[in-house]
């Protein structure tokens, strides 16, 4: 069954190629197709295209389909093109002619747009919830280990004194910016395209504000052409948000892989979170974080993939857009898995308490020595040269205390301020988190 099928039979090879693996992704849209159809038929009833009796029949039919979907038993039958056709087919089988009325006033184009926007909204909110859990774990670790010192690095060389509190807290605050970008994408996505039909509206007196309210959208995508222009562009915005989160997550994973190395021994992963070697019995490999790093590197290429799919397309619908699902749907699943595994692993991560006791880290304190001289009245450039001369002569030592008091330093992590920033961003998602 195809919504557009007439008398001509499509060549089997062409049909297989054009459908591709779209039905597999469509299964993830099934509940949202039912949700969108439910709002649409209520609107059709309000403008007199369906009777109340027909609405009741259709609602009962959709509820039955929704139950099958939630039970994991919904399937797109052989010969049925997509989820939209399958839902309409099931209603028509059960209700006869009434089932054929649900497509009045909409095109498959705006039907797909609605399904995708509802799906993306749910996925974005789930990612925001996972970010919330990861943020809480990072901030808790920052507070727990705020007094445990570690080396800081620039150019991958020992630089200045840092702390695990500062390290965990840095990644926590990085998630604030990632969440802000995700929240802006949520706002862009949460506009109702239903009623734009094939991109040029409908001669039916559709009540698009009613479907906006019924589907919980913040607003309408008013102009019907603009609603269709959102296909591909919405996915592009989402790809930037996913890439941003992946950048933070991948760098954190890379740190953990390095810091758990035997030559560093800053961190220890529990045995249950590592894998072994087939030949070396001593190995405890950080495979989880290596794979998180790899997935996040691939996810950072997502904007390029989506941009290329959108390239050189004029306004209106194009079948190219079907391929966006192949890029975006697995990316959403991969990022969610990475967030879950990172949050779970960080709960069990063990920190080494006396790293800086090793003699090789004595030069971490050179800046402290320079600053002490400056505070005592020596000009900075002169103090810098004095400490530099001690280093060159192999005579540098430091036995002073650390005095870091400014906002965001190892002595003043500003954890409550960072928590407040994150919570303000969360509120931008409404009550859906």
Identify the residue with better confidence: 367 or 22: 367
Provide the pLDDT for residue 301. 97
Kindly report the number of other CB atoms within 10 A of residue 181's CB atom: 17
Provide the pLDDT for residue 227. 96
Of all residues in the chain, what percent carry a pLDDT higher than 90? 85
Predicted model pTM: 0.93
pLDDT of 19 above 50? yes
pLDDT of 155 above 80? yes
Provide the pLDDT for residue 400. 81
Distance between CA 226 and CA 307 in Å, rounded? 18
Provide the pLDDT for residue 283. 75
Distance between CA 226 and CA 205 in Å, rounded? 19
Calculate the alpha carbon distances from 239 to 145, 181, 233, 409 in Å.
Answer: 34, 11, 10, 33
| CATH numbers and ranges of domains, the chain | 12-104 (1.10.275.10), 109-147+164-357+419-429 (1.20.200.10), 359-392 (no CATH)
Provide the pLDDT for residue 4. 42
Q: Are 134 and 347 in contact (CB under 8 A)?
A: no
Confidence band (pLDDT; 50, 70, 90) for 280?
Answer: confident
What are φ and ψ of residue 11, in 5° steps? -55, 135
pLDDT tens by residue, 173-186: 999 999 999 999 99
First and final C-alpha spacing in the chain = 38
pLDDT of 277 above 80? no
Catalytic residues: 155, 277
Q: Lowest mean pLDDT of 1-10, 275-284, 295-304, name the range.
A: 1-10
Distance between CA 284 and CA 269 in Å, rounded? 9
Provide the pLDDT for residue 376. 95
State the Cα torsion 8-13-16-17 to the nearest 10°: -110
Q: Please compute the mean of the pLDDT values over residues 352-362 and round it to a whole number.
A: 92
């Amino acid at each position: 069954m195809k919504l557009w099928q007439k008398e001509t039979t499509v060549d089997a090879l062409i049909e297989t190629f054009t459908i591709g693996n779209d039905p597999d992704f469509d299964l993830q849209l099934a509940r949202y197709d039912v949700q969108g159809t439910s709002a649409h038929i209520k609107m059709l009833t309000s403008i007199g295209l369906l009777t109340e009796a027909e609405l009741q029949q259709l609602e009962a039919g959709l509820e039955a389909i929704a139950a099958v979907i939630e039970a994991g038993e919904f399937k797109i039958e052989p010969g049925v093109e997509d989820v939209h056709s399958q839902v309409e087919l099931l209603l028509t089988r059960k209700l006869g002619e009434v089932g054929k009325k649900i497509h009045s006033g909409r095109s498959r184009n705006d039907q797909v747009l609605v399904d995708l926007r509802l799906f993306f909204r749910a996925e974005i909110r789930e990612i925001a919830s996972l970010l919330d859990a990861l943020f809480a774990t990072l901030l808790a670790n920052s507070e727990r280990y705020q007094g445990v010192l570690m080396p800081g690095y620039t150019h991958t060389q020992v630089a200045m004194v840092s702390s695990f509190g500062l390290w965990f807290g840095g990644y926590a605050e990085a998630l604030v910016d990632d969440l802000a970008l995700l929240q802006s994408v949520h706002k862009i996505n949460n506009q109702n395209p239903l009623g734009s039909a094939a991109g040029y509206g409908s001669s039916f007196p559709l009540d698009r504000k009613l479907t906006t309210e019924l589907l919980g959208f913040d607003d309408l995508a008013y102009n019907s052409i603009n609603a269709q222009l959102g296909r591909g562009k919405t996915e592009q915005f989402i790809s930037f948000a996913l890439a941003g989160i992946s950048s933070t997550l991948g760098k954190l994973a890379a740190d953990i892989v390095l810091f758990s190395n035997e030559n560093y021994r800053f961190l220890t992963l529990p045995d249950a979170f590592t894998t072994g070697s087939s030949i070396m019995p001593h190995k405890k490999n950080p495979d989880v974080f290596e794979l998180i790093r790899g997935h996040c590197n691939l996810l950072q290429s997502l904007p390029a993939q989506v941009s290329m799919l959108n390239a050189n397309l004029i306004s209106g619908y194009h079948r190219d857009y079907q391929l966006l699902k192949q890029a975006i749907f697995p990316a959403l699943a991969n990022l969610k898995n990475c967030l879950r595994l990172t949050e779970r692993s960080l709960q069990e991560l063990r920190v080494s308490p006396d790293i800086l006791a090793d003699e090789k880290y004595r030069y971490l304190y050179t800046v402290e020595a320079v600053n002490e001289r400056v505070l005592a009245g020596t000009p900075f450039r002169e103090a810098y040269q004095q400490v530099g001369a001690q280093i060159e002569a192999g005579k540098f030592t430091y036995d002073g205390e650390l005095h870091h008091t400014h906002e965001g330093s190892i002595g003043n992590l500003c954890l409550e301020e960072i928590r407040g920033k994150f919570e303000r961003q969360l509120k931008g998602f409404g009550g859906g988190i």
